[in-house]
């Protein structure tokens, strides 16, 4: 097979191999998939249920000769969500195209036995270009879902979306709690009492999420934790005194006093200006009922049903598509997707805002 630039980018098998290879590094983990699964919506505007009942009401004990009491399912609070449009375009400059052309020439000149290695060299070179379009919408949703989990609010501002538009603005009916400066010295006791008070209406929480900074400052740095609970840690007292305690060590303490385990969130996403954004905010502790807390709603983009002539399309999960084409200005690659997170039961999520307590 003689390979050219055109056949390279228009060969769906080769392009799929590039896409698959662009998803193998730890740095490119899609964080939002820990919490949500894709679900298709046939309409861009859809009903979002906000009060799904997660517990089962205890059955009634009745007299053998009496009628059974009539039960009704609790009504679900509802609102409406609308998918957000995601898309970017990338241009491959002539220097990169010249290098790809050189690699293609080596592939065409190679013996059949060496062509696999030569093709792998081509794929390795263009992986980063494909990686950008493959992961960009996922990274945006990583930020949005991180904001919703740590603050209950998500928005996209022009400063964070250059050359885009300020469109996304979401607020969830989560339970928000703000401890005061007076709660700081006995924060662990305060946290335990608050969680116990929430259980009759919100049920049990499976995990407490927080950033590493919040963990170090408000858990490990708590005077109550140091003085009262270091005895439970026994052999870890030296590490505790040196400020080197881990979340696993803290969870030994928390499990003994009935608190949910801690999960430290260190996730970062790169922005257009070269900086990195922390996905989960500092000074927040979020209590989740379980790991999977909703769906990433997706709608099939119009361009898939009415493709533009001259473009080669590749379809990916969640209705996302990528395409590439050639003009006299160079070769371009782009993507399109229509997604929005839909939290199934946000009223079962509690967020502690420690900004006031920490001053």
Which regions of 225-356 does DSSP assign to beta strands (E)? Answer: 262-264, 268-270, 276-278, 284-288, 294-298, 312-315, 321-327, 330-343, 350-353
Q: 119: how many CB neighbours lie within 10 A of its CB?
A: 20
The H-assigned helical ranges of 209-337 are 212-214, 223-228, 230-233, 237-241, 247-256, 302-305
Cβ(283)–Cβ(358) below 8 Å: yes
Cβ(261)–Cβ(207) below 8 Å: yes
- Which residues in the chain are classed under CATH 3.15.30? 5-53+78-173+291-350
- For 47-83, what is each residue's pLDDT tens digit? 665 544 444 555 544 455 556 565 555 544 556 677 8
pTM, whole model, 2 decimals?
A: 0.84
pLDDT tens for each residue of the chain, 359 residues long: 678 887 777 777 777 777 776 665 556 789 999 999 999 999 887 666 554 444 455 554 445 555 656 555 554 455 667 788 888 888 887 888 889 899 999 999 999 888 889 888 888 888 877 888 888 899 989 999 999 999 998 876 544 555 554 456 788 889 999 999 989 888 989 999 999 999 999 999 999 999 999 998 988 887 777 665 555 555 445 445 545 667 787 777 777 778 899 999 999 998 877 788 999 999 999 999 999 999 999 999 989 889 998 888 888 899 999 888 888 777 888 888 999 899 988 999 999 999 998 87
The two structure tokens encoding residue 55: 């517990």
Q: What is the pLDDT of residue 233?
A: 54
Q: What is the pLDDT of residue 52?
A: 44
Closest CA to 326 of 3, 4, 5: 5
Fold designation for 5-53+78-173+291-350: putative capsid protein of prophage fold (3.15.30)
């Amino acid at each position: 097979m003689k390979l050219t630039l055109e056949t390279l980018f228009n060969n769906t098998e080769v392009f799929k191999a590039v896409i698959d290879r662009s998803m193998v590094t730890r740095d490119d983990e899609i964080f939002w998939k820990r919490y949500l699964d894709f679900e298709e919506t046939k309409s861009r505007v859809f009903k979002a249920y906000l009060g799904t009942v997660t517990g089962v009401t205890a059955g009634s004990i009745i007299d053998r000769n009496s009628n059974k009491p009539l039960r009704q399912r609790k009504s679900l609070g509802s609102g409406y969500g609308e998918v957000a449009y995601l898309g970017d375009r990338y241009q491959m400059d002539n220097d990169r195209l010249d290098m790809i052309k050189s690699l293609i020439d080596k592939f065409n000149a190679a013996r059949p036995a060496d062509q696999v290695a030569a093709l792998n060299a081509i794929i390795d070179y263009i992986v980063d270009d494909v990686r950008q379009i493959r992961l960009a919408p996922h990274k945006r949703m990583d930020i949005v879902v991180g904001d919703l989990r740590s603050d209950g609010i998500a928005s996209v501002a022009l400063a964070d979306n250059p050359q885009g538009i300020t469109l996304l603005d979401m607020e969830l009916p989560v339970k928000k709690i703000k401890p005061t400066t007076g709660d700081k010295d006995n924060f662990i006791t305060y946290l335990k009492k608050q969680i116990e008070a929430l259980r009759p209406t919100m049920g049990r929480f499976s995990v407490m999420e927080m950033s590493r900074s919040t963990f170090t400052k408000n858990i490990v740095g708590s005077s109550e934790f140091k003085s009262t609970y270091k005895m439970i840690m026994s052999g870890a007292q030296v590490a505790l005194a040196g400020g080197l305690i881990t979340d696993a060590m803290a969870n030994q303490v928390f499990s003994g006093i009935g608190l949910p385990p801690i999960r430290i969130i260190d996730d970062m996403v790169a922005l257009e200006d070269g900086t990195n954004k922390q996905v989960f905010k500092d000074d927040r502790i979020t209590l989740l009922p379980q790991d999977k807390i909703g769906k990433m709603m997706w709608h099939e983009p119009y361009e898939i049903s009415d493709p533009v002539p001259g473009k080669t399309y590749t379809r990916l999960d969640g209705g996302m598509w990528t395409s590439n084409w050639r003009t006299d200005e160079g070769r371009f690659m782009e993507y399109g997707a229509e997604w929005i997170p839909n939290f199934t039961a946000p009223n079962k999520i509690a967020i502690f805002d420690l900004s006031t307590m920490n001053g």
